[in-house]
Chain A
Amino acid sequence: MSTQYHVKLAPGDVAPYVLLPGDPGRVPVVASHWDEAREVSRNREYVTYTGTYRGASISCTSTGIGAPSTAIALEELARVGATTFVRIGTCGSLQEQVRIGDVAIFDSAARYDGASQLYAPIEFPAVADHGVVSAAIQAAHGQGVTHHVGTTFSTDVFYTPQEGVAFGGYQQSWAREVYEDARRQNILAAEMESSVLMVLTRIWGLRGGAMAVVADDVFASVDETGAFDAEATFDVGAAQMERLARVGSETVRLLSERDAAGRTG
């Protein structure tokens, strides 16, 4: 098989276990926690490192922002042999008890994206593999990281058409209470990639899961003037990314060890 069109990877370039941040700049940061790592490809928003972490083969590929570029990354990674996909991202909290710096482990996603609907009807659930969920919980426990397990709101829009959020004061009535309703549905957080990851891995018979460090409170990211300024209000410090990289890598190690022991999760 030749090199994949967008991610520029061939069979043998990636481990079966792949961590998926959105930001290509975070891939070398994640890989710096491994025992050894090398950059295996770089094209557009897709950067891939492969290496080993505490005896487990591991890769990390950035997806870019949003479900469309993430779907391309998943299609091409699966073709070159990846079987287990763990998103490590950032999210905004929808619940008071989910605080900035905590890690949210997603067992499911609300499908407010377009790409996953082109693969599976909207009735189909975006659900994580239970083995990935249980490994992520164990990893977070082991690292002493405050964590929450629940549903994420995966949306194709960052600048939601709400007062003060989208450019020029643009608003749509559907968006006015969309996050309040999500909070009432017990949804933990909002981000932009987990739904398509869970749907695609499930329909292919592969494994997917996701976790994200909480960068902001969705209800507090609008300042007193009513303006939304992510640069000023989002907190994605080095310590938070390090925590995420560590819990993600530990999740892969636990899965790898369980798989080797004959449990397929």
Chain B
Amino acid sequence: MSLQYHLKLAHGDVAPYVLLPGDPGRVPLVASLWDESREVASNREYVTFTGTYRGVPISCTSTGIGCPSTAIAMEELARVGATTFVRIGTCGTFQDRVHTGDMAIFDSAARYDGASRLYAPIEFPAVASHEVVAAAIEAGERLGYPFHVGTTRSADTFYAMHPRPGSSFNDYWQSAWREHFDDLKRLNVVAAEMEASVILVLARIWGLRAGGIAVVLDNVLRVSGDSGEFDPQEQFDHGGDEIERLARMGSEIVRIVAERDAASERAPAT
């Protein structure tokens, strides 16, 4: 098989276990925590590093923002031998009990995206592999990071659907948005981000494994003040060691899953 069209990867270039951040700039940061790593491909928003982490083969590929580019990354990674996908990203939260800097572990996603619907009808659940969820909980406990297990709302929009005018350009707004965030809070949805739903749906329908974690950057119900203005550059907190903790927890999840796979001496399954 030749190189994959977008990712520029061939068989042998990636480990079975792949971490998936959105931002290509984070891939070398993630890989810097491993024992050894090398860049194996870089094209468009897709950057891939492969290496070993505490004895386990591991890769990290950026997906770009949103489900369309993420679906392409999943399709091409699966073709070159990836079997276990762990999204590592950033998110907002709808819940007051979830604080900035906490980790959200996604066992499922609400499907407010377009790409996953082109693969499976909307009734189909976006659900993580219980093996990945269990490994994420264990990694969070071992590392001592505060975490919350629950559902994420994966949406195709960053600026739209906020409760008041001001988040979208020129105060564009729709009345259907007024209680959308409040409804999600009442539905017990933990997080808001833009990629998990398609990762979970695709892995599930292919008989592969996926899960996801994200570090919480803000409470989406409070991010736009009374004015409705939404300025992520001003309001989001990327300052600390959030990305390093995210990278460490993701790598630990891979190590735990890989060690369990080796112990059970079987091929990864959902």
- Chain A residues near B (Cβ < 8 Å): 107-112, 120-127, 130, 133-134, 137, 149-151, 181, 184-187, 202-205
Contacts and interface: CB of A to CB of B under 8 A. Distances in A.
Given A134-B134, A202-B151, A122 B123 contact: yes
Given A125-B108, A185-B120, 16 more contacts: A108-B125, A108-B127, A121-B183, A122-B122, A123-B110, A125-B110, A125-B125, A126-B125, A127-B107, A133-B130, A134-B134, A151-B127, A151-B204, A184-B205, A186-B204, A187-B124
A130 B124 CA distance: 18
Nearest to A133: B130
Given A127-B107, A134-B134, A149-B130, A205 B188 contact: yes
B133 interface: yes
Chain A interface mostly: mixed
Interface in B113-131: 120-127, 130
B206 A186 contact: yes
Interface of B: 107-112, 120-127, 130, 133-134, 137, 149, 151, 153, 183, 186-189, 204-207, 270
A124 B187 contact: yes
A203 B190 CA distance: 11
Contact of A111 (B109, B125, B189, B206): B125
A121 to B, nearest CB: 8
B133 to A, nearest CB: 5
Contacts of A111: 123, 125
Nearest to B130: A133
A181 B126 CA distance: 16
Contacts of A149: 130, 270
B111 A151 contact: no
Contacts of A130: 107, 130, 133-134, 137, 149
17 contacts: A109-B125, A110-B121, A111-B123, A112-B123, A121-B110, A123-B112, A123-B122, A124-B189, A125-B108, A127-B127, A130-B133, A137-B130, A185-B205, A186-B204, A186-B205, A203-B188, A205-B188
Nearest to A153: B123
Nearest to B119: A185
Given A203-B187, A205-B188, A123 B130 contact: no
B110 A107 contact: no
A4 B124 CA distance: 33
Nearest to B183: A121
Contacts, number: 78
Contacts of A107: 127, 130
Contacts of A126: 125
Contacts of B126: 125
Contacts of B151: 124-125, 127, 202
A209 to B, nearest CB: 11
Contacts of B111: 123, 125
Contacts of A121: 110, 183
A150 B270 contact: yes
Given A134-B134, A149-B270, A151-B204, A125 B127 contact: yes
Which 6 pairs from chain A and chain B are nearest by CB? A108-B127, A127-B108, A125-B108, A108-B125, A125-B125, A111-B123
Contacts of A205: 188
Contacts of B207: 186
A181 B123 CA distance: 12
Contacts of B206: 186
B40 to A, nearest CB: 29
